[in-house]
Amino acid sequence: MVMVKRKTVKKRALVTGAGGFIGHHLVKFLKKKGYWVRGVDIKFPEYEESAADEFEILDLRRSDDSLQATRNIDEVYALAADMGGMGYITGHDALIFHNNSLININTIEAARINGVKKYLFSSSGCVYPAHKQDTPNIKPLKEIDAYPANPADGGYSWEKLFTERLCLYYREAYGMDTKIVRFHNVFGPLGTWDGGREKAPAAVCRKVALAKMQGRNEIEIWGDGKQTRSFCYIDDCVEGIYRLMSSKFNDPLNLGQDRMISINELVEIVSKIAGVKLKIKHITGPLGVRGRNSDNSLLRKVLKWEPRISLEEGLTRTFNWIEDQIQNSQA
Ligand code: NAD
């Protein structure tokens, strides 16, 4: 009897935004799962070389670049976006809506032309209406709360809702297996920590680390610090993305932690990790909504799983990495 050894064909994934925070981690995760991965971005990852089999510098606002990015691909993970923390997305509405809608219209259409079967779009907890997030102690947000639509964070959030619709229509019209994930404040090592696009956890870690190094006992925080959020560690985020892509679920799904804390509490936790006692000086700055938390009931039901890395554990890893970055940049 002749034994025929069957060659396993690797699934081919495209990760857009692979030079960015979540995309870079997702490329590593998919490689470990045995995928062949193409990363695409307008820049290379800043802090570490990409694990992608192929990394192409392409601008997805261009349709020809999107066609090149999606050739010979089974699954697209659409993470590319013009984005940043509140300091960036406040006041750049036109630019962000323009850039992100072009990126998403081109990428999904190119994926259709190239016969891509599965497509995941990275939406955000910012799609939820302003009036459901106007006090620090808000009710966790369920996926259905997004409508009637009145997102709080301007052009960035409206574009997310717009592309969620686009995914729905591509599924209905062309049978593309689209997934929509709404991230809630993802953080971790290898993410932007300075320069103006960083988000709250990285900014707080940087401020605390700098105060510790310089022997100062005070840091500045935008607003009264009573605004609340939930924060999800990056390893949980990429695990959730993978689980959603492997599921049969197509409607929008929250992916975040459901432990809500204030920014003042975030500072307290990071200070404890750093081993310092700090006073907070509250200054004026862009704040975003007053409160936001993820309702994870649907996530638990659909994926039989939810994020499990504690905030303290995630922040310890992130603080240590940012402290190293500062020390290296000053050396
Ligand atoms: P990021 O800014 O680190 O990564 C986005 C990447 O997209 C960047 O590397 C950027 O260069 C790239 N990009 C921008 N314009 C491009 C273009 N024209 N062509 C190709 N690439 C382009 O952001 P992230 O935190 O990794 O976020 C990934 C996705 O998740 C984004 O869609 C973001 O809106 C969404 N999201 C993130 C969070 C979070 O907490 N990090 C929360 C909600 C939603």
State the closest ligand 1 atom to the C-alpha of 78, by its place in the atom list counted from 1.
Answer: 32
* pLDDT at res. 173: 98
Q: Which domain holds residue 318?
A: 200-228+261-293+314-324
**Is 331 part of any domain?**
no
Q: Indicate if 88 belongs to the active site.
A: no
Residue 132 is assigned to a structural domain of this protein: yes
Residue-wise pLDDT tens digits, 241-261: 999 999 999 999 999 999 999
Residues 266, 130 share a domain: no
pLDDT for res 7: 67
How far apart, in whole angstroms, are the C-alpha atoms of residue 212 and residue 323? 10
CA of 156 to the centre of ligand 1 (A): 11
194 falls within a domain: no
In the reported structure, the alpha carbon of residue 16 is separated from the centroid of ligand 1 by a whole-number distance in angstroms of 8
Q: Is the domain of 305 the same as that of 319?
A: no
Q: What is the pLDDT of residue 286?
A: 76
Atom of ligand 1 nearest to the CA of 84: 2
- pLDDT tens digits, 275-322: 999 999 999 887 788 999 999 999 999 999 999 999 999 999 999 999
Q: Is beta strand 75-78 parallel, antiparallel or unpaired with respect to 54-57?
A: unpaired
Task: Please give the mean pLDDT across all residues of the chain.
Answer: 95
20 Cα–ligand 1 center, Å:
6
**Helix boundaries (H) for the chain:** 21-32, 63-69, 86-89, 93-113, 155-174, 200-214, 234-246, 263-274, 297-303, 311-330
pLDDT digits (tens, 9 = 90+) for 92-149: 999 999 999 999 999 999 999 999 999 999 999 999 999 999 999 999 999 999 999 9
Q: Which of 83, 121, 124, 318 to mutate to test the pocket of ligand 1 (most atoms within 8 A of CB)?
A: 83
Tell me the whole-structure pTM to 2 decimals: 0.96
Number of compact structural domains in the chain: 2
Q: What is the CATH number of the domain that holds 130?
A: 3.40.50.720
Cβ(14) – ligand 1 distance below 6 Å: no
3 part of a folded domain: no
Residues 167 and 207 in one domain: no
What separation in Å is there between the alpha carbon of 186 and the centre of ligand 1? 11
Which of 77, 128, 156, 242 is labelled catalytic? 156
Residue 182 bridge partners (DSSP):
123, 254
Q: Is the CB of 103 under 6 A from ligand 1?
A: yes
Q: In this structure, are 27 and 149 located in the same domain?
A: yes
Q: Is the pLDDT of residue 85 over 90?
A: no
